Amino acid sequence: MAQNLLASLSDSQLDLLHRLADESAALGFPIYIVGGFVRDLVLGRPSLDFDLVLEGDAISLGRSLVSKFGGKLTVHTKFKTAKWFPGLSAFRPSNLPTFIDLISARSETYKHPAALPTVKLGTVADDIRRRDFTLNALAICLDGEYFGELRDELGGLDDLQNGLVRVLHPRSFVDDPTRLFRAARYEKRYDFKIEPQTLALIPEARPLIAKLSAQRIRHELDLILGEPNALSILARLGDLDLLKPIHPSLTWDVTTWARFQHKVNSANERWLLWLMSLTETEIASLNQRLKFTASLLKSLYASSKIFAALSAFEDLKPSQCVERLNGFPLNAVSAAALIAQGKSRQNLEKYLSEWRHIKPKTTGDDLKNLGIAPGPKYQEILSRLRNAWLDGEVDSENEEKRLIENFLKETG
Ligand code: ATP
């Protein structure tokens, strides 16, 4: 079966795996390809996510790969892991990963629930046991005559075939509550089911979500929002009551469901669609918990402001729309445009496609040539001209000039 699994790889991928295995063998390190790559291969969705686990020092293997084939290496000395970027010269570029993760097999113990584990070097069997679910606990051996042999000590293959997400032991969620979110992500990504005994372990771990660091929990939410079916994953988390324990403002209901029907491409756009109906105070409080990036936070505040005033956009003149929206991140305006209706929607769309680009023909230099002394007046005149264009009051350079003359008469 496993031979067949690797047989579905391209010649260049097989060649790459053989070369990695040969280098590892030269150092005396047994080597396996593990995790998501094997899972997706079994599911007939080959990926380029090459995670290699070896019983030995991954950094030494990385160094010998670089000295033989070139490319670049980044290392994480504490965990004895390395990332090798083979570069384009060593192998044919098609169907090959841009980097390969090299991991020294290790075992983990958890001193406290929800904390980061204590790690020490171990065997591939140890490495498999520290994983989240049986579906991620499959490994394919790459050593010599065993090349292609599947190691399935924890029943991962059966679970994959039966469509089940199953933890490896009853303390799994307590050790690491991020796995609660990962379970829902895999379940909905593959249209699987969380296995009943695994499901029954959720309530005990739910209160420990509060102990997860901002960075870890946000990372999991980012991964979820980056999935094509983020909608069903969040709905599932809502059903399992796993959102409120993160923060009371994180909810999932029919309104959010409707908003997620809009097709967007990135996790950040989904954050905006999800949270734009929160008040600024709620966003500030949520940010205490999740520590958003500065740019996402700015967009969240902006989309909340636009959302709160959405109906007002219906009656605004183009110049007023521009005045209100100027300076707001475009992704915030786009997100609001997606959910707005009628005239408000048209106005937001027009702002994005046309109005924000409109500028008067006259420049600061022209004003100087007209003998107007530089100062705040310039800004005033230029804004007035832009607004006149936006609202259809002028449509030529001559008309602009007339407007400037009038302005100068009015203001002396
Ligand atoms: P994806 O297709 O989502 O990238 P992946 O399996 O490659 O899936 P990663 O998040 O890249 O997922 O993790 C790599 C591997 O590390 C997983 O296959 C899993 O075995 C393991 N892993 C990741 N997070 C955890 C965790 N919290 N607990 C245990 N193992 C984990």
Looking at residue 338, its amino acid is: L
| 104 DSSP β-pair partners | 54
Interval 13-28 mean pLDDT: 94
- How many domains would you assign to the chain? 4
Please give the order of strands across the beta sheet that includes 51-54: 72-76, 81-85, 100-104, 51-54, 31-34, 139-141, 150-151
- Ligand 1 atom, smallest distance to 49 CA: 7
pLDDT at 2: 47
Q: Is 185's C-beta closer than 6 angstroms to any atom of ligand 1?
A: no
**Cβ proximity of 110 and 175 under 8 Å:** yes
**Residue with CA at minimum distance from ligand 1 atom 28:** 132
- Please tell me the distance between residue 137's alpha carbon and the centre of ligand 1 in angstroms: 10
For 22-80, write each residue's pLDDT tens digit.
Answer: 999 999 999 999 999 999 999 998 888 899 999 999 999 999 999 999 999 999 998 89
85 and 11 inside one domain: yes
Strand 81-85, strand 100-104: pairing: antiparallel
- Please tell me the distance between residue 290's alpha carbon and the centre of ligand 1 in angstroms: 21
Query: Containing domain of residue 222, as a range?
Result: 169-246
2 and 65 inside one domain: yes
Continuous H helices in 340-375: 342-353, 364-369
Looking at residue 376, its amino acid is: P
Q: Shortest CA distance to 114 belongs to which of 200, 208, 181?
A: 208
Residue 251 counted as domain residue: no
- Please tell me the distance between residue 272's alpha carbon and the centre of ligand 1 in angstroms: 26
pTM confidence score: 0.89
**Cβ proximity of 372 and 346 under 8 Å:** no
Interval 74-102 mean pLDDT: 83
Domain finish residue from 136, 162, 188: 162
Residue 104 counted as domain residue: yes
At residue 130, φ and ψ (nearest 5 deg) are: -90, 5
Domain with residue 239: its CATH number is 1.10.110.30
> How far is residue 154's CA from residue 166's CA, in Å, rounded to a whole number?
10
19 and 128 inside one domain: yes
For 173-210, write each residue's pLDDT tens digit.
Answer: 999 999 999 999 999 999 999 999 999 999 999 999 99
Widest distance between CA atoms in the chain: 93
- Please tell me the distance between residue 176's alpha carbon and the centre of ligand 1 in angstroms: 13
275 and 320 inside one domain: yes
pLDDT at 376: 87
pLDDT at 254: 81
Over 60: is that where the pLDDT of 156 sits? yes
Residue 280 counted as domain residue: yes
Domain with residue 143: its CATH number is 3.30.460.10
Q: Is 179's C-beta closer than 6 angstroms to any atom of ligand 1?
A: yes
Interval 257-281 mean pLDDT: 90
Over 60: is that where the pLDDT of 260 sits? yes
Over 50: is that where the pLDDT of 284 sits? yes
Residue with tokens 């008469």: 409
**Cβ proximity of 90 and 10 under 8 Å:** no
Q: Shortest CA distance to 271 belongs to which of 304, 306, 236?
A: 304
Confidence of residue 90 (pLDDT cuts 50, 70, 90): low
For 317-370, write each residue's pLDDT tens digit.
Answer: 999 999 999 999 999 999 999 999 999 999 999 999 999 999 999 888 988 888
> How far is residue 313's CA from residue 305's CA, in Å, rounded to a whole number?
12
pLDDT at 92: 53
The string over 115-145, giving b where at least 16 C-beta atoms fall within 10 Å of a residue's C-beta and e elsewhere, is eeeeeeebebebbbbbbbbbbbbbbbbbbee
Strand 81-85, strand 106-109: pairing: unpaired
Average pLDDT of the chain is 92
DSSP state of 133: B
Residue 99 counted as domain residue: yes
**Cβ proximity of 25 and 65 under 8 Å:** no
Which of 50, 102, 131, when mutated, tests ligand 1's pocket best, judged by the most ligand atoms within 8 Å of its CB? 131
Interval 273-277 mean pLDDT: 94
Over 90: is that where the pLDDT of 120 sits? no
> How far is residue 97's CA from residue 12's CA, in Å, rounded to a whole number?
11
Q: How far is CA 333 from the centre of its chain?
A: 20
154 and 39 inside one domain: yes
- Please tell me the distance between residue 36's alpha carbon and the centre of ligand 1 in angstroms: 7
55 and 156 inside one domain: yes
Residue 393 counted as domain residue: yes
Residue 106 counted as domain residue: yes
Q: How far is CA 299 from the centre of its chain?
A: 16
pLDDT at 117: 77
Over 70: is that where the pLDDT of 167 sits? yes
Confidence of residue 265 (pLDDT cuts 50, 70, 90): confident
For 303-318, write each residue's pLDDT tens digit.
Answer: 999 999 999 999 999 9
Residue with tokens 């660091």: 213
| 53 DSSP β-pair partners | 32, 103
Confidence of residue 240 (pLDDT cuts 50, 70, 90): very high
Cβ neighbours for 150, distance < 8 A, ≥ 6 positions apart: 1, 2, 5, 38, 138, 139, 140, 141, 157
Q: Is 318's C-beta closer than 6 angstroms to any atom of ligand 1?
A: no
pLDDT at 172: 97
- Please tell me the distance between residue 87's alpha carbon and the centre of ligand 1 in angstroms: 25
